Amino acid sequence: MVLARSALQDLRDVVSRSAQPTTKLCDLVADWRAETEQRLHPLGITLDWRISMEDMPMPVSAEVSLNLSRILREAITNMLRHAQQANRVTIRTALEQDYLFLSVEDNGLGLPLGGAKPHRGMSSMNARAVALGASLAWQPVEPHGCRVGLKMPLANLSPENAGETAAAEPLS
């Protein structure tokens, strides 16, 4: 059921995002919040959404918007599938020093010793991050849980820079 909903949302995104060449970052973040709340609330999982940026009117190209949305959606899907006993998800978005930061953190059992084994969802997220010139990392959270973090140069949001992505430094 989760997979079917995710596929349907991906299809909706392709149709709606391709119809408009750009989206404001503030509108994109609002869409992310609404979709994530809609997925988590029926399952009794609390969403803690933290935005460390004021107004975000900068334009985001349709391709960048689609890739960022799919990375976030896959992070939530992975949490729902693998984060046993999670009852809270914290999502942080921030604009700092010419970068967009996005992280998804759960309070589930966390990553297995030695880290998570790569799977199709993680590979897809990594491929999308590379296409965006972003870095993506999975980290354990103390005392338990997992965090997925994305760091992307703000210059890569801009439609005029689409296809000329600058590489992000690794998350620290």
Domain tally, the chain: 1
Residue 38 sits in a domain whose CATH number is: 3.30.565.10
Structural domain that includes position 87 = 2-161
Mind giving me the DSSP string for 13-62?
HHHHHHHSSEEEHHHHHHHHHHHHHHHHGGGTPEEEEEEE-S----EEEH
Tell me if 172 is assigned to some domain. no
Using an 8 Å Cβ cutoff, are 88 and 132 in contact?
A: no
Tell me if 74 is assigned to some domain. yes
The residue ranking higher by pLDDT, 93 or 53, is: 93
**Mean pLDDT computed over 33-40:** 96
Tell me if 111 is assigned to some domain. yes
Tell me if 171 is assigned to some domain. no
Q: What is the pTM of this model?
A: 0.81
Per residue in 48-58, pLDDT (tens digit) is 999 876 667 78
**Mean pLDDT computed over 74-86:** 90
For residue 162, give the DSSP letter: T
Tell me if 170 is assigned to some domain. no
Tell me if 57 is assigned to some domain. yes
* pLDDT surpasses 70 at 101: yes
Coil, helix or strand for 134? coil
**Mean pLDDT computed over 120-124:** 86
Per residue in 150-162, pLDDT (tens digit) is 999 999 997 565 4
Q: What is the mean pLDDT of the chain?
A: 83
